[in-house]
Amino acid sequence: MGERGGGGDLKKTKWPSIKPKKDLHTTFFKDTHLFTVQSFLTCLESRAFVKAAESIGFVHQGSLGPTKGEAFRDNDRISVNDPVLAQSIWDSGLNGLFGDIKIRGKVAVGLNPNIRFYRHKSPFFFARYKVGQRFGRHIDESVDLGNGRRTYYTLLVYLSGGPGGLKTKTKNGSGTSQESSTEALVGGETVFYDNRQRIVAEVAPIEGMALLHLHGAQCMLHEARNVSKGVKYVFRSDVIFA
């Protein structure tokens, strides 16, 4: 099923079935191309993705930092290349949201099969860090996939957030699975800035909510704020136009 970044066996990973959603509610932020989709995934679907991702095993990802020309990055990551999963997510309701959106004469045709899962922990749960995990200010690049296909939108789906915590099975240092109960997520907002560094939007993670925004030349500078309590899980892909 393709490449991955993690400690488990992707071939044994069973992704949850996603039910098609009708009449999805979108909220656009004023004077931007940024919008959210409430209840894009159900709570059960979100938690099933978390369970599947944890069964693979996250790998810590850092960066050289701004002094070396890279955004500050401190999170745990999994990367999978899965066209079937990408198509399932697209067909569950995203395809109906892009019917009126055209970019340079191109229309949205699906999701990039290069799918990433991110996990941000607070220092309470990941004691190796003195501060909460975060992803510093950055922009998302547009990717040329060949044959006239290019990505123009970032898709983020929050798999945790809002009231209540999660119970998940994580792998300890010996590779043995163990159940852990997390606190309700505090922090981890996605914050967007204009070209004068003023805040344009602050999006708090809510379990099952999708966030979409333009990337490439028109991408707004944005960051993921520190997680101060709980664990933030995010599903990430890109919308392809052709």
**pLDDT tens per residue, range 86-110:** 999 999 999 999 988 999 999 999 9
pLDDT at 181: 45
Distance of alpha carbon 204 from alpha carbon 230, whole angstroms: 14
Q: 64 falls in which pLDDT band (50, 70, 90)?
A: very low
pLDDT at 222: 86
Domain ranges for the chain, please list them.
Answer: 27-61+84-234
Q: In CATH, which of 2.60.40.10, 2.60.120.620, 1.10.10.10, 3.40.50.920 is domain 27-61+84-234?
A: 2.60.120.620
Q: 231 falls in which pLDDT band (50, 70, 90)?
A: confident
pTM of the model: 0.81
pLDDT at 67: 52
Residue 166 or 236, more confident: 236
User: 129: which residues sit within 8 A by CB, 6+ positions away?
Assistant: 74, 121, 123
**pLDDT tens per residue, range 165-185:** 445 454 554 555 444 445 788
Distance of alpha carbon 29 from alpha carbon 26, whole angstroms: 10
pLDDT at 12: 60
DSSP of the chain, one letter per residue?
---B-SSS-GGG--PPP-----S-EEEEPTTSS-EEEETSS-HHHHHHHHHHHHHH--EEE----GGGTS--EEEEEEEEE-HHHHHHHHHTTGGGGSTT-EETTEEEEEE-SEEEEEEEE-TTT-TT-SS--EEEEE-PPP-EEETTEEEEEEEEEESS-SSS--EEEEE-TTS-EEEEE-PPPEE--EEEE-TTS-EEEEE---TT-EEEEE-GGGPPEEEEPPEEESEEEEEEEEEEE-
Residue 164 or 120, more confident: 120
Q: Given the structure tokens 């992704």, which residue do they identify?
A: 15
